[in-house]
Structure formats: structure tokens, C-alpha cells
Amino acid sequence: MPTTPPRWRRAVVTGGAGFVGSHLCTALVEGGTAVVCVDDLCTGSPANVAHLVGRDDFTLVRADVTEPFAVEQPVDLVLHFASPASPADYLRLPLHTLETGSLGTRNALAVAREHGARFVLASTSEVYGDPRQHPQNERYWGHVNPVGPRSVYDEAKRYAEALTTAEATTRGVNAGIVRLFNTYGPRMRARDGRAVPTFIRQALAGEPLTVTGDGRQTRSLTYVDDTVAGVLALAAADLTGPVNIGNPGELSIQELARLVLELTGSRAGIRFVERPTDDPSVRCPDIDLARDKLQWEPRVPARDGLARTIAWFRDHPEDDPRDPPR
Ligand code: NAD
Ligand code: UDP
């Protein structure tokens, strides 16, 4: 039981049955906030919130946020996390991704406006595209191909940021924007196509790890508990942002693959495969703003977070019902 009263009585979490959303739902409920999770299950699963279903303070509503939706009980926080996020998912669901970022954000903002609730948009480091500034701070406008394959995600999030900012400035919505960098941890789908779950699945199965290109491209990996702490810190602050939430510890993808091989004890090695179109070359957050305004910084080093994630994958073998049919 929390020792202090919860900051929020009830939160709506769109995309709450997904990877990051399910950890947010858990943290909120554990902190004493009732949660209404709204999810169409296009990339998420009820299995991710099975530990919460049946509680009085948790409701799972299966709904597509591209359609207007309402919540009858009072709400004081809306976390808008609905959106496919893995490149494989958004390339499979291009129009749904665009509509979730545009219509879905409009509809989630309407719920916040109606209730006078704080609104937080899950934006992404993808708004920086294939960046020409390194590391990326929030003042950098990005380098995005507006018609490339990744544009369905990048431009949807850029539009969602513009819409959220306009609702804050013209309609007085109390809104904040987090730009999340690559987040990983338990409950990622083994076959969602992202590097961390793919490498762990392959290493545990004794298959070579499929590194794209020469593997020298970089990402900055944030363990999900750190991401959740950053999101809730912005939710509790009186700040619109956008604010980068990410771990500045930058790794090449080849280094990541070698770390997964080491931590799993696998001898499967690496297989180099074709690099996807417009795959960003570098990605690293400047987090001075989050440190200064939110007193937030990541705590979990990649080695520890990956070890925890590998342990979870060992306990959740591949026939997990959250994996889409092969
Ligand atoms: P995820 O695919 O695991 O979760 C997304 C959830 O949103 C799923 O449960 C899905 O079913 C739901 N959803 C999608 N479209 C919907 C719609 N129209 N209506 C209702 N529900 C819908 O992805 P994730 O990694 O947990 O990402 C969650 C959010 O965080 C996304 O908005 C993503 O853009 C953002 N983000 C994630 C990362 C990351 O590294 N994980 C990085 C940057 C931003
Ligand atoms: N990647 C890889 N092998 C895989 C999946 C991804 O080498 O099986 C690469 C991908 O090309 C990119 C990096 O790993 O350079 C991170 O990819 P991910 O999909 O995890 O995140 P994003 O590209 O959205 O940052």
C-alpha cells in the first residue's frame, strides 16, 4: 500500500496493453491510481495486463482510439501511448499508424480536455529521423524523409506533437510531450522485430544474431523502469516539453549483439543481413532538460537491464500467446 495519497485518482492509458503501456499501468495501480486501459490489441495483448485484470481499480477496454471514445468516471491523467512502435509493426500497419498518431491523438486530447486532465503524449526519438546533430537535444528539428517507409511513424508522431502543442496553447490543455528513446525490457514480443527481443530470442534458440548492415549504427537503450519513471515525472510536472527520456549510454548494434551473446552464454555468432531503408545511423539523447526540470536520469545500465530482460525471456518461452501467428 502506498504511504502517501496517490497523485492521480484515475488515469486513462491508451495503448496500456502494449509493452511500455503495461508497465505504466502497473506502476500507476501500485501507486494507488485507478487505471482505464484503452487498447485495440493490434500489437498488444491482454496477457501483458493479466496481473491487473479483475482488480476494482483496473479496467481493460478494447477500443480503437482512432474512433472517439469517452470515459464516464472522473479522470485526472491521460497517458497517450497507443501506436505501433516496432518498425516491423508500423510497416505492416502503415495507415493505422498514421491514423493513430493523428485521429487517435485528437480523440485522446478530447478526453483530457473534457475532464480537465493532464495529458502526456508518447513521442519518440524518431522525430529526429536520421539526425545530423549528435547527441540530439530537444531544440533539434530533425532530419526525416517524409515519404520514406518509416514516415508513417515519424510523421504521425511529429503531427501528434504539433497537435498536442496547439491544444495546449489555444485550448488550454495541460499537456506534456515525452520523446522516448529505444526502450526495452520484459513483455516485449519475441517476434516484434526490434533488435533487443530479436537478438535475445535468437541467442536463446542458438541461432545466429541477425545484425543489419555492418552493425556500426548506434542506439541508446533505456530500460523500461527508467522510462516509466521519466514519463511519470513529466506527468507530475508543470512542463509541456518536449523532453527527451532516454539513456545516453550509446551502443553500436554490433556491440549490443555481442553483449547479448555474452550474457546468454550463446556461441551462435552473428549473421550480417541487409540494412532497412532510412535506418538511422546514430541515436543518442541529450538529457540535460530532464535532469534539470524533472530531476530524472536513467539508473539501469544496459548490462543489468539486458540481464533482467534475458531472464524474463527464459521464463516466457516462444510459444507465448502474445506472439502473432507465424
Ligand atoms: P507496443 O506495440 O508494445 O504497444 C502499443 C500499444 O498500443 C499496443 O498495445 C497496441 O495494441 C496499442 N494500439 C496501437 N494502436 C492503437 C489504436 N489505434 N487504438 C488503441 N490501441 C492501439 O509498443 P511500445 O513499445 O509499448 O510503445 C508504446 C508507445 O511508446 C508508442 O506510442 C510508441 O510510439 C512510444 N515509444 C516507444 C518506444 C520504445 O522503444 N518502446 C520508443 C519511443 C516511443
Ligand atoms: N536491427 C538489427 N537486427 C534485427 C533488428 C534490428 O540489426 O534483427 C537493427 C536495426 O536495423 C536498427 C537497430 O537494430 O539499426 C535498432 O532497430 P530497432 O528496430 O530495435 O529500433 P529502431 O530502428 O526503431 O530504433
Q: Is there a domain that residue 112 lies in?
A: yes
Residues 207-218 have a mean pLDDT of 98
Look at residue 318 and tell me whether its pLDDT is greater than 80: no
Q: Is there a domain that residue 14 lies in?
A: yes
- Residues 81-106 have pLDDT tens digits of 999 999 999 999 999 999 999 999 99
C-alpha–C-alpha distance, residues 166 and 169, integer Å: 5
Q: Is there a domain that residue 81 lies in?
A: yes
Q: Is there a domain that residue 101 lies in?
A: yes
CA 194–ligand 2 middle distance (angstroms): 5
* CB-based contacts of 42, cutoff 8 Å, min separation 6: 64, 84, 89, 93, 96
Q: Which of 153, 159, 184, 223 is catalytic?
A: 153
- Residues 117-126 have pLDDT tens digits of 999 999 999 9
Q: Are the beta carbons of 135 and 165 closer than 8 angstroms?
A: no
C-alpha–C-alpha distance, residues 112 and 76, integer Å: 8
Q: Is there a domain that residue 203 lies in?
A: no
Q: Which residues line ligand 2 (CB under 6 A)?
A: 87, 182, 194-195, 198, 210-212, 217, 219, 253, 275-276, 279
Nearest CA to ligand 2 atom 21: 194
Lowest mean pLDDT among 1-15, 222-236, 243-257, 282-296: 1-15
Q: In the chain, what percentage of residues exceed pLDDT 70?
A: 96
**Of 144, 126, 139, 138, nearest in space to 83 by CA:** 126
Of ligand 2's listed atoms, the one at least distance from the Cα of 283 is: 25
What's residue 5's pLDDT? 65
Q: Which domain holds residue 183?
A: 10-188+222-248+284-300
- Residues 242-278 have pLDDT tens digits of 999 999 999 999 999 999 999 999 999 999 999 999 9
Task: State the CATH number of the domain containing residue 56.
Answer: 3.40.50.720
Total domains in the chain come to: 1
Give the model's confidence band at 320: pLDDT under 50 very low, under 70 low, under 90 confident, else very high: low
C-alpha–C-alpha distance, residues 38 and 14, integer Å: 5
**Of 26, 15, 145, nearest in space to 80 by CA:** 15
Ligand nearest to the CA of 100: 1
Q: Is there a domain that residue 269 lies in?
A: no
- Residues 11-35 have pLDDT tens digits of 999 999 999 999 999 999 999 999 9
State ipTM: 0.99
Residues 225-243 have a mean pLDDT of 97
